[in-house]
Amino acid sequence: MSRRRGITFAMGSVLLVSAAQLGMRWSMTHLPSPDAWLSAPLDKLAIAVVFTAILAYAMSMLCWLAALRDLPLGRAYSLLSISYALVYLLAASLPFFNETFSLSKTLGVALVMLGVITINTRPVSAPELRSAS
């Protein structure tokens, strides 16, 4: 039960940090450059998205702390890499990000995901069992 709970919290952290990254990217394309923030009018929606993304980062950290109670660090940390794939897929799929798919990026993300699967499907060793309890 505790391993499942740990994975659930880790995936919550991944989803929140991915949403935060996408929100920050969207916001930065709707705001002037930082040197003009004090003099130029700011898009209120973009500012709201920035603050929402910061909140998502904070919530992600709380989920991460909860995940670390139940998962060995070596396994938990690899799960964070799922956010690379998620951000890449969403940024390239959603038209307002103007990102593109490429063979090299897709291959890189596939290799990262293969690493996550490899790390998290191997049998749990004795030291990991002790640290998870």
pLDDT tens digit string along 20-71?
999 999 999 988 888 787 787 888 999 999 999 999 999 999 999 999 999 9
Q: How confident is the model at residue 131 (pLDDT cuts 50, 70, 90)?
A: low
- Residue 111 structure tokens: 């290799």
Q: Is the pLDDT of residue 130 over 60?
A: no
Closest C-alpha to 79, from 44, 116, 111, 50: 116
Full residue range of the structural domain in which residue 96 is found: 2-132
- Domains of the chain: total: 1
Round to whole Å and give the CA distance between 109 and 127. Answer: 30
- Residue 95 structure tokens: 């038209």
Lowest mean pLDDT among 7-16, 60-69, 111-120: 111-120
Residues in CB range of 38: below 8 A, 6 or more apart: none
Using a pLDDT cut of 70, give the percent of the chain over it. 92
Q: Are 71 and 7 in contact (CB under 8 A)?
A: yes
Residue 129 CB-density burial (10 A; 0-12 exposed, 13-18 middle, 19+ buried): exposed
Average pLDDT, the chain: 89
